Structure formats: structure tokens, C-alpha cells
Structure 1
């Protein structure tokens, strides 16, 4: 194993050395931008402007060639050095165990945990605060030594951010969204499926594969475990989870004890979704008063107590009822989705922004109260990303420009608005 670690580390360092430095990549993008700008002026028959841009392009290219030549020269001379941190990084990747320490930097990060989660999660302050407090207790050593880092019930209708909060938590704690282990509890509705969590008994089909839950945690002991739609599971599943919540371990079919002490357990449920719909039938003013939410919360928690026995509920650290979303919240969610799109456009240097009119149009056209924010992702994909991809492939926009999405004839229209550059006509 030690040889494998050193071999993997050496290979990674060697590949990393062949990666072009970021400052040279930035200059490559500048060159491409200048070339495109020159071509635009040529098409517009503005020879004077085209000549100015050509001269700028030559200056940048001269500096670029010097830098790339020096980088290649240095790369051929320097012998790469493998450090302790490089080996530690490889071990972390191979084992799934993050090699972090409680240092001043992480302490500061934990103190501002709510700020990070709020950047990714809209309108769920109570959930963010509850999760943050539990994580800080664990990091400070104030928790049961044998229990998971934290365990939570996330209750509320579909599309309000339950799964998104779990993803954000995985990114925050382990710097990797793949640290989220999602278990679909609809697969465990029948009693004979329960054994799949820890592995089939000897002599049965699937014995050599191990348990669907235990194998994932054994390979990645530092993770956020999401039991989706927990209310659909067979009651015997809760007996299995009792051991996890109480002792932090689960024994698989091979007799191995799988450690859950470094996991966060999240159980989501749509219990009480109909209660919320009845309490706020119009969909757009679901959280207008605290009194309405308090009534919703009381009813949903009542449904929870009817579904699960007290022995199980008492072992869960906290139960959070998510707020339904209103029109203002949906506007913020559209902004988050557009930011995701912009991250994908970084290589092309493109930036997309939506006018408030377009946001309102998307919300009015696609929002369905019973589905929460889910339709908005499809709306951005269909109305923004699909249209933009066609325009990019047609060569209608230059790399490095800023695009504003405006509403024209009841349809989104893309307009180039970069200051100081020739403006191309907006296109549907």
C-alpha cells in the first residue's frame, strides 16, 4: 500500500508540472479575445479599429511567447519534489478520510458556517442554524463519543432545499460534494430488502457484494448520509438505524464493524406536505406570517409522531421543518442557478445576467407550488441554457463578452452589453 501511495503521488506531481500556469492561461484567453475583437471590426469594415487591435494583439503575443518559452525551459531543468503534504493529499483521496486538523483557519470557518450555507440555501434559516450548532458541538468535542457527528430529520414538501442543504454540508465539511451518500428508502419498502443495507446472509445472492449502506461508509467513513424519504422504509429499517444513532456502528454480513462516528445522518421526509398545501393554498405567500408557519410546524410534527415511535425519534438530535418558498425566494434561487451557469462559461469568458423582468417571467410561467423550486431549474435550462448554447455554437457572441437576458415579445432575448466593445444585435 505504501508503494502504491508513493507511486500515485509521484504520478500526480508529474502531471501537475505539465499543466500550463494560470497566468499563461489568462494570457491565452486575452489573445483569443483580441483576435475575436479584431475579426468583428474587420466584418464591420472598421479597418482603423482593426489595426489598433492587431497591434495590441502582437504586443500580448510577444509577451506570451516569452512566458511560455521560459516555463518550458524551467520545467525541463527542475526536478519535482514530493512533500509530506502531497503524500497526505494522496492518502486522503485513496481512503476518503480528510486529513484535517482543528486549526485557527478551520475554527474561523466553523464560526461562520451559517454564512457559507446561506449562500447555497434560500429561506431555510432554522435548518441552517440547527445543523451549524450540531457541527460546532461535535468539532468542539461536546457530543457523545460513540454517536455520529449529528442526526437530523428534514421535513417539508418537495423542492424546498432538503437535499441541497445536505449537499452544501458535504461541501463545507469535506470539501467534496461526492462525500454525500444518498440512500433511496423507497428501495427498502419490503421486509426482505432490509438485509441489503448490511449485506445478504451467507449462501444468498449478493453475499459477496456487501451491504449497500455499510460498504459505502466503510469506503468513505467521513461523509453525509442522506436517507431520502425515510417514511417509505419498512419498520425493520428503523431497528438498523437505532444502532447507528445510538452506538455509531453497524455490523455487516462479514462481521465487520462499520464506523459511523464521523458521519452526519440526515433523514428527509415529505410527511405533512398536504397539510402545508392546505395551510397556504395560493403558494406565493406561504411564509407571510410566523403564525402560519408555527401552525404548519405543529401539524407536521404531529404527523411525524404518528409515523415513528418515540424510541426512534428521541435518538435524533434535531427535527427541522422547512419553510415553503414564496416568490421572493424563487428570485434568489434563479440567481443561484444562473451563477451555476456562469461557472460553466468561465472558459469562454462569457457572463450572463437576467433582468428582473425575465426573472419574474420565469417564475410566473414555471412555478408550481406543489413542486417548490424544482421547476425553476428546468426553466433556466430550457429558456436560458438551451437558447444560449445554440447561439454560442452559431458563433453569434464573442468570447469574453457580457450578455444580458431581456424580455422581448414574451421570450428571453440575449443582448451583448459589454462596455467599450462593438455591440452585436440581441437574438432570440
Structure 2
């Protein structure tokens, strides 16, 4: 019912007053009630702090809630008890004008209202993608022809013609719908879809502001009615899982339940888009909603497909950033994004990398900034010139001459800058710098090619891992085979490192991770003594359905999903339960494994290393450095491994690398490396350190023959060198030390401080 005073807003205050012998019933809106000075209304508004703006907003929301029911003369829509009291109000309003005039006025208002309210909800809460496609505001879509054709085929069905695009974030689900809109705009669709319009639903604006009970349902109902009346609308709901529970409150229906009847009857057509996780959590659980959609899986595109996409859209980024992008840089951006940006998906991460690299290239060019500034000045001066010349009678010739002079000067400066601006190139350094900002990996390492790293791998490893040249050579050869991919089966390089403690097994793994992969933490390490029970396998791949922790991901599978380029170390493998080791069979053979939630995790870009001390506990007949002793050590290690591990696991490993005991010469070199590690911290305190061969010889002799290999050497250096150096620095805090010399005599290490 409308206010009897303003005839615009809904009446919320009802009153009766006596005029002579007659009772006059009135309904007033809040604004009119306040203007008339009704005491009860004024005191209520003052106590609640309601302003005039609040009153206007509330009135608008009440009108929207009522929709078309609250028209002039809408007393029929009132509840029965109000109709009894105010039943005569419709007659009172009609008495003011003649019946004929009133009828004509109402008819005109009704027609005008219908014109204004046509597609009111569609225009308020949706964006017409087809119209944007016609006006050229959508980027053209490259690829995804199969998915677009499948979606068009489903849309062309008689019933259940509602496709639902399911895929990881950033793989191009929304782009597929934009591609359909482009095809409709170009007329490249079946006859039944020629006149269709795709509207993108803005769920946020649909839900926002629905504070009154039933207001959300009213909006959804109005939207459905608009779609029914238009008859050519396809509604695209991005993040379709938000329908479940949207707008629901105690005793009310959510959006999904309101839409279900219209979807099943075919009154409306919907395209949905969501991720695998959200589809499983929300839509699969509601089987009645799930059966109304036809799922289309949108997989992550390959590197070749992503390259085609970027080659197709690079001109948009060239025009926006004023930067030239070569095809080779496009291909490189795809490869680098796939390798270094782990937790996102192609083509989204490749496009983001290209976009930000273009921004970086544009910002490093000072000429481009000057060019843009001069262009803006030129436009402003041309506008000012037109304004002055538009009024010939009142021209300020002095100002006009000044502007014309400025125009000539600006055009000359622009002409000088044009060749420089036209030649700004996106480079590999720009891509590397952006990845460095995103991941923390040094740009210098990113710029080096993978094959370049592998070609120098053996030299770098031998410089860091002393006395194990044969082991290093075997590892490098297997890594090269794995990286070049000479066969179709993509499987990771895998090794078992066997040997006594302290000979460099773990050190080689760490060095291999640092040299191959430039991530900040490229080593994924598992201590297999934690997996001695049969049920511990669930920690690697995740708990099965129905068990505690099912929603949580497995430690191994999740970390490899996040960092596919890494070294996976299974330390002391002989301590793990045999059933736990079975999980490695598929990884080593196929290069992939399926976790408890059904996701396939690829290991093809990893390097898998297992270490073991098998066969090294009995040192008899092994000590010595001739060929025969080395062969005996290998035979003992192999026999011990065969007793611990199954043949099918040993057969799948690329190399079983046996580490030999360290010689006296190797121990001296390792001692030198350990002492070199002290130089940098001392340099920060302005202390230079040096050592001679006597010191290295002494350290190697006293560490040789121990049970712990290089670890024993570390202990001796800690006691004989580090402790003494620390005492000297503390004792000489008044006159700081600037030079340290380390030597040795027959009895002990000697440290000379200056």
C-alpha cells in the first residue's frame, strides 16, 4: 500500500482521525510521518538515531521487496485485517479525480512502469557478455575448441541443457564462456543458439543489501521471471558452488533450491563454473542439483597449447605496455612459469608472468614515461587550441600563439622519442627479475639454461663432494638420461646411496638439490625411522575416506604437488616398514602416484634418492683403498640390500651407488673445505684467516680411522680450532684481532693471532 500523502513510498504508519462525523483512515510512509510531526514517530527516530538518508534507503528497500505488488491502488495486496480497516482507501483516492481521467492516467503509468521494469533484475545483477563481445570488449579466445564445442552441444539439448565447467583455478573456465559469447556474436553457433544472450551473474550484488526476510528470494524470483520473459537468456554463474547456501536463513530457501525447479523444467538455461574441490564439497553432495548439470572437465593446457594462447594474445599486451614481445620470449615465459611458479596453473600463471614482465620492461624505460607524458600534454594543448578557435570574436591571440608554439615543440620531442619507444624489447632478464620477486630464486640462476646446468653438474659436484668421484659420475649420468627423456615413459631419476656413515651420502643429495633446482628449499626429506609401522603409509599419500585426517593432504604427495622440481630424500630406508616401501614402486616405474583424494601427483621432474647403511656395519676386510677391497665393499652392500629390500624395488632404481671409505688425501681436502666455511663469518668481523698444509695433515691424521668419517673431522675442527678462535676473539675484545694463522706441529694445532 502506498503512502496516502506522497503516493510514492510504501505506507508503514497507519492512523485514523475524525473529521466531523466521518472517520478518515490514512497510511503514511516514514518520511511523511516525520514531516507531519507525529510525536510517536519523531521520538522513535530520535531514540534510534535514524537520519533522513536512512529513511530514504529503507523506503527504497521496502519498495524493492514488494516489487510490482505495491502499485497505485494496491489495497488488494494488504493482509485481510488491514483490508478491513482500510478497505475504503482505494475509493477515497479515486474520488479525487474523474473515473475516466483516473483510468487513463493509471494505464499510462502502468505502461511506463512496464517499460522501465523490463529486464530490471537482469540489468541490475548481470553483465551481458554477448553485448560485450559485439562491441569488441572481450579478448579473442585461442584454443579450447573441444571444450567450447562440447558446451555448445550441451546447450543445444532439449532438456538438462546446463553445462558445468569444472577445472583448477586459472585454467580458462571463464574464457570458455567468453569464447561461446564471441561465437554467438559472430553467428558461428547452431540455429537454436543464434539469438541467445549470455549474462554473467554477479552473485555479490544479488546477495548484498538483502537484510529483510524474503528479499533475497524476491530477487531470485524476479531474475528467473526476467529470464523466462526474455526467452533467449543463458545465465552464466561463475563459482556456481556459491549458490549452495547463498541467502539462506532460518526457515528460508537458498539460491540453489529456488533455481532447481526452473532448471528441471527447462525454464532457464545456466552455465556453471567451479573448481574440483568446490564441486566435490558442495554440488556433488546435493545430488538433485548435480543431476541438473552436465559436467565438462577443463584440464590444464599443455606447454604447447599455452604457448599458442600467449602467441594469440600477446598483441593486447604489446599495445597496452608499448613493449615489443618476440615469439621466443613468449615460449620462454611459458617454460619459466611452468617450472618456477608451482602453486598455480597454466595458462593463468604464464599470462601473469608475461604481463608483469612487460610492466617491468616499461618501467625501466625512462623514454617511455616521457613519451606518455608528452602525449598527454599534446592532447591538452590541442583541446585548448580548439576551444580558443571556436570563438573567433574573442580570441586571445597571444595565448593562441603560445599554444601553437608549444604544439610544434612537443611534436618535435615526440618525433625524437618515437624510434626509442618503438624499440623497447621484453627480455629474458625481465622475466627472470619478475620470477625472482615472486619466488626469491636468484635471477642469474633462472637465466641459465637447464642443459647448461647439467653439462657443468659433474664439475660442481666433485668440487663439493670429496673422494666420491665414481659415485658422482654415476649420479650425473643418470640425471642426464632422465632430463633428456630418451624414451616415452616419463619417470624420475632414482638412486640408492649405500655406504658407511660420514662419507658424503647426504652431502651429495644436498649439493645435487642446490645445483639442479633453484628453489629456496629444494630438498624434501623423510626420515624413514618415522615410518616403521604399516599404517604410516597414510602419512605419505593421505588418510583413506572415513579416517581422521582424510581432508588433509599426504606429506609426500602435497609437497611434491607444491614443488614438482625437487629432490626427494628417503633417509635410512632399511628402517621403514616393507608395506610403506610399496608406494615407491609406482613412483619409480610410472613417475606418478594417486593420493587418498584421487588426485594424480607427477614425480617426473623430481630426483628420488634413498640412503642406507646396509652392509657397512661390519668393517672387516673392507678397510683399504685398492680395487679388490672396493669390489668387496660393493658386494657386501648389495647382499645386505637384497636382504632388506624387495627385488621389484631394486630393479626399478636407476643406480645403486656404493660410497667408499674416505682416504687420507680426501680427508685433507674436506678439512680445507670445512676451514674455508669459517672465513666468511670471520671476514664480517674484519678478521682474515689462513691455514697451511701442516694443519690439514694434522686434522686428517687425527680423524682418520674413526667410525664417523667426515663427521669425526667436524668434531676435531670444532674442538681444536673453533673453540680456540672463539676464546681468542673474546679475550682480545679491547684490541680486536685482524689476522689468524692456523698451523700445526707434531703435538697439536697452533693458532697465531695478530
TM norm. shorter chain > 0.5: yes
5 Å matches for 1:266-305? 266-275=609-618, 277-280=619-622, 286-305=623-642
C-alpha displacement at 1:126, in angstroms? Answer: 1.4
User: Once the two structures are superposed, what CA deviation does each residue of 1:281-336 show, in whole Å capped at 9, x if it has no partner?
Assistant: xxxxx342111111221221122222222211111011111111122211111111
For residue 55 of structure 1, what is the aligned residue in structure 2?
A: none
Instruction: Describe the superposition over 1:128-179 as per-residue Cα deviations: whole angstroms up to 9, x where unpaired.
Output: 001111222233232554211x100111111110000000101110135721
Report if the CA contact (8 A) 2:432-2:447 is conserved: no
1:257 positional shift: 1.5
In 2, the alpha carbon distance for the partners of 1:166 and 1:192 equals 28
Q: 1:112 and 1:323, CA in 2 relative to 1: closer, same or farther beyond 3 A?
A: same
1:332-357 CA-to-partner distances (Å, cap 9, x unmatched) read 11111111122333323433233333
Deviations 1:57-97 (A, max 9, x none): xxxxxxxxxxxxxxxxxxxxxxxxx9433222344459x9x
SS in structure 1 opposite 2:476? helix
For residue 395 of structure 1, the aligned residue among 696, 715, 733 is 733
Q: CA RMSD in A?
A: 3.2
Matched ranges for 1:35-184 at <5 A: 83-93=430-440, 103=449, 106-148=450-492, 150-176=493-519, 178-184=521-527
Task: Name structure 1 gaps, 5 residues minimum.
Answer: 14-81, 281-285, 417-423
Larger Rg: 2
**Counterpart for residue 699 of structure 2:** 362
Secondary structure of 1:371's counterpart equals coil
SS, match of residue 707 in structure 2: helix
Query: TM-score w.r.t. structure 1 length?
Result: 0.70
Q: State whether residues 151 and 318 of structure 1, in contact with CA within 8 Å, keep that contact through their aligned partners in structure 2.
A: yes
Does the aligned pair in 1 maintain the 2:453–2:515 contact within 8 Å? no
Larger deviation, residues 205-214 vs 110-119 = 205-214
The total of aligned residue pairs comes to: 334
1:325 to 662, 680, 685: 662
Using the alignment, how far apart are the partners of 1:130 and 1:366 within structure 2? Answer: 28
- The offset of 1:246, in angstroms, is 1.0
Aligned to 2:713: 376
What is the CA-CA distance between 1:182 and the residue it aligns to?
1.0
Q: Secondary structure at the match of 1:160?
A: coil
Structure 2 CA distance for partners of 1:391 and 1:113, relative to 1, 3 Å: same
Q: Which has the higher contact order (CA 8 A, sep 6+)?
A: 1
8 Å CA contact 1:200–1:211 kept in 2: the answer is yes
Deviations 1:344-400 (A, max 9, x none): 33323433233333333333444453211111112222322232233234437757x
Q: 1:110 to 1:397 in 2, by over 3 A?
A: farther
Note the alpha carbon deviations across 1:94-120, whole angstroms, 9 max, x for none.
Answer: 9x9x995884xx534422321110111
* Partner-residue secondary structure (3-state), 1:278: coil
| Partner in structure 1 of residue 550 of structure 2 | 207
Contact 2:494 2:655 in 1 (8 A): yes
* Residues 366/101 of structure 1: CA separation in 2 closer, same or farther (3 Å cut): closer
CA distance in structure 1 between the aligned counterparts of 2:660 and 2:605, rounded to whole angstroms = 29
TM-score normalized with structure 2 length: 0.41
1:287–1:325 CA contact under 8 A, matched in 2: no
Q: 1:343 to 1:92 in 2, by over 3 A?
A: same
Match of 2:580 in 1: 237
